[in-house]
Structure 1
């Protein structure tokens, strides 16, 4: 199976990895909270980790486990855990692995909700340094004796700054700390997080993986690159026989089980089905984004376009090296002075004004007064977000129709 193409493996992953019952090609949605043990010793063995199995729907289910297997194969990991949302996945990682007095280096370009979480963690005594992750030197400058990890997105949302993940990965390996990468914006086959040195991968399955805007989900994948015996915060109870599983075991127990951000069986089923067309959707969306970015970059009414595929993007060459499957399907733009972003968005006829990304449909919204409103103007400026920026999540429509919609709106000015 390893020699087969990405889409072939995805289409057949559920039936081959999980062996659904009765010849089905998809794992059934198992909607049970409790699981019976005809031998009482069985429930003891599962509770103590001596035997695989399900004891309670909040901790695990056959549906969520089947999806975890597929997500793990997608990222080439040694294990994965699925959550109710992408934010639940990130929150569980931080709250499970770090404690008061620990220091974590994170990207200063984090998405608004993730940035808000970092502020909450600081209130709890976890030290956070926000740095420009486009340069490894900034990571080195921020390192402290109590630094426990580095966390970054691959490509920032919405200004598309590209992190030097390969350089950061090598540095984290030298320092003996895990690199945690949010791969939501550039899922496989666009970006291979493991090959770049990521220890843990977080992702919002809601976005490109599921792809149709009809289900929420998140995941954490352990790539197997980090030796968790180096990590001081693993509790004795979670130091299982397989030392490679220490980190993920603690995330499962302290994050998923204790915090209860459980992915429902029905959501797991929908995500698994949507994931089968991931490569096809990403290829079309990335191609559309590249062509739309070129049109907007050359239009008289557009001041600037932010897209890694454009030659004048500050990290274009880094993106070209790291993103083997395309430059992503997110772009942002600043209109010429005097053009009201709200008025412009209202002139679009096909594009949907909505807060989401990774959908089959093209979506757009004004950034500053919506998803980054809580950050305030000073923080937004540090992130490179102008007060009139528009973010566009490019879908899989026919490109001529998208081009015409943006052109007709711009030509009214």
Structure 2
């Protein structure tokens, strides 16, 4: 009999198999800020990366370590660093690995806050080219001699474009580029970026992994596929201390987490770790609800367009079908001219008007007026975001109740 267990079984027993104190089934919440050593050499060895251990919670804590181990298992990676938010994970990864004068190729469909921090990197001297990532040729055409990194999201938020993930992975491998894949919209249950040769995987743990809208967190997972020995931006001191395969993730922990300070609290780590145990159950239900709702909206006379990879009319439906286990719980739709999106949203009785994603409850938000407002009308038009677009994070409610709520809200919104 194989020792390899299924996705949920592995997550469910992850903490217990690490043997927490007193036989606890979950890793306890360790609130200590610092740790003491009877022999000072033990403390020195931790500082010098000669021994595993804890010195100061800004860069490591047993409760957070247990969550990192769980995320590594989910992503079938080599090692993970956890952060206070998904944005902290993104920021730390770029700050740790890219220098002024380097070049990044990024998807032109990046989420608003990610696009915003990319602009900050540009202001600091990092060159970034934004391209349509649904075709690998656009990545190839953007390559420069100083390109260090390609940054892609699996499914774009909110218009659900699906990146040409496998072909981009092959190209990055060929050219020796760090391939960063933000897996937040799919999660490791629906898709594992290691299968498309990703170097690093980003997750906003706040979303589907935590799953209950009650804790912020983010993570970076090293898949073990990238050869950090030849990467020019690794510091000399780390090259002397760290095993070659651990150079990238260690530099992210040192420069990105320790120096940047985006530390995940042990309380949040514990909450996320417990929430993660049911990710497969939650996403199976959310994806089924999203598919049903997309089908309903796609034929409704007041809806002009539905953005969901599970629909055959979606431009990347074939690609999504070939690489994703399911199509996700994120979707958007646009209303026909003359239908007020504010009025429609206010007619919803069950669905919550909120900005988060990956909650157990269905959430809706007018995109152009909120999360993409700062980009301006011209940039929104370039990204295919009409003023009437409504983004949905579909939850686990009973399907019939969700469909009825949208039916009555659309009926009440008729001109």
**Same fold flag (TM > 0.5):** yes
Aligned mates of 2:378, 2:229 — CA distance in 1: 40
2:26 aligned partner? 26
Aligned mates of 1:52, 1:358 — CA distance in 2: 34
1:4 aligned partner? 5
- TM-score calculated relative to the size of structure 2: 0.98
Matched, 1:186 2:186: yes
1:137 aligned partner? 137
1:170 aligned partner? 170
Aligned mates of 1:374, 1:238 — CA distance in 2: 39
The question of whether the paired residues in 1 share the 8 Å contact of 2:49 and 2:242 is answered with no
2:369 aligned partner? 369
Q: Give the 3-state SS of the residue equivalent to 2:58 in structure 1.
A: coil
1:344 aligned partner? 344
Aligned mates of 1:301, 1:192 — CA distance in 2: 37
Q: Give the 3-state SS of the residue equivalent to 1:209 in structure 2.
A: coil
Aligned mates of 1:203, 1:275 — CA distance in 2: 12
Matched, 1:286 2:283: no
Aligned mates of 2:248, 2:3 — CA distance in 1: 26
Q: CA deviation at 1:392?
A: 0.5
Residues 377-386 or 129-138, more deviating? 377-386
Q: Give the 3-state SS of the residue equivalent to 1:263 in structure 2.
A: coil
Structure 1: which 4+ aligned runs deviate by more than 4 Å? none
2:298 aligned partner? 297
Structure 1: where are the runs of 5+ without partners?
Answer: none
User: How many residues are matched?
Assistant: 411
2:394 aligned partner? 394
Q: Deviations over 1:238-260 (max 9, x none)?
A: 22341010001110000100011
Residues 374-383 or 129-138, more deviating? 374-383
1:309 aligned partner? 310
Matched, 1:109 2:109: yes
The question of whether the paired residues in 1 share the 8 Å contact of 2:11 and 2:73 is answered with no
Structure 2: where are the runs of 5+ without partners?
Answer: none
Q: Give the 3-state SS of the residue equivalent to 1:392 in structure 2.
A: strand
Q: CA deviation at 1:308?
A: 0.1
Q: CA deviation at 1:2?
A: 5.1
Q: Deviations over 1:146-189 (max 9, x none)?
A: 00010010000000000011000000000011110000000122
2:360 aligned partner? 360
Aligned mates of 1:358, 1:230 — CA distance in 2: 38
Aligned mates of 2:341, 2:151 — CA distance in 1: 32
Aligned mates of 1:152, 1:63 — CA distance in 2: 30
Aligned mates of 2:358, 2:188 — CA distance in 1: 13
Q: Please tell me the root mean square deviation across aligned C-alpha atoms, in Å.
A: 0.8
